[in-house]
Amino acid sequence: MKEILKLIGLILIGITIIALIMGYAGIIDLGFYKFFGTQTANVQTQIFHENKSYIDGMTSDLANYKYQLTTEKNPIARKAIVEMIIEKYANFDVSKILDPNLRNFLNQVKGGNYND
C-alpha cells in the first residue's frame, strides 16, 4: 500500500514539474490565449459598448455632428459630415440614444432621408 501511495506521489510531482516547465516556457499560456483570448476580447468589447460612458460619448458626438450639419453651408462639407455619421454609427444601437430628436436624426441620416 505504501508503494502505491509513493508511486502516486511521484506521478503527481512529475506532472507538477512538467506543468511548471510548460508554464515557464509559455506553452500553457499560449494555448490558453488561443482558446480564450478572442472570446475574452469580444466580451470586453461588448461590455464597453454597453457602458454608459461610451453611449453618452456617442450621443454627445452625434449632437455635435447635428449642430455642424445644420450650420454648414458647403454641400461638399455637409456630405462629408453625413458620411462620417453613417460610418461612425453603422453598428451603434440607435435605441440607446435617450433623446428622441437625436434618435430620429440618426435614423434619418442612416436612412438617407436627412433634410434640414
> In terms of residue numbers, what domain contains 31?
2-41
pLDDT at 34: 65
Q: Are residues 97 and 64 in the same domain?
A: yes
Give yes or no: residues 8 and 59 share one domain: no
Within a domain: residue 116? no
| The pLDDT of residue 37 is above 70 | no
Among the listed residues 56, 49, 65, the one whose alpha carbon sits nearest the alpha carbon of residue 105: 65
Q: What percent of the chain has pLDDT over 70?
A: 76
Residue 46 within a domain: no
Against a cut of 0.75, is the pTM above it? no
- What is the rounded distance in angstroms from the CA atom of residue 116 to the CA atom of residue 23? 62
pLDDT of residue 114: 73
Nearest to residue 31, comparing CAs of 40, 43, 18, 22? Answer: 22
Whether 24 is in a domain gets the answer: yes
Residue 101 Cα distances to 9, 68, 81, 107, 111, angstroms: 70, 16, 18, 10, 15
Instruction: Mark whether 67 and 101 lie in a shared domain.
Output: yes
| Rounded distance between C-alpha atoms, residue 48 and residue 96, angstroms | 13
Count of the separate structural domains present in the chain: 2
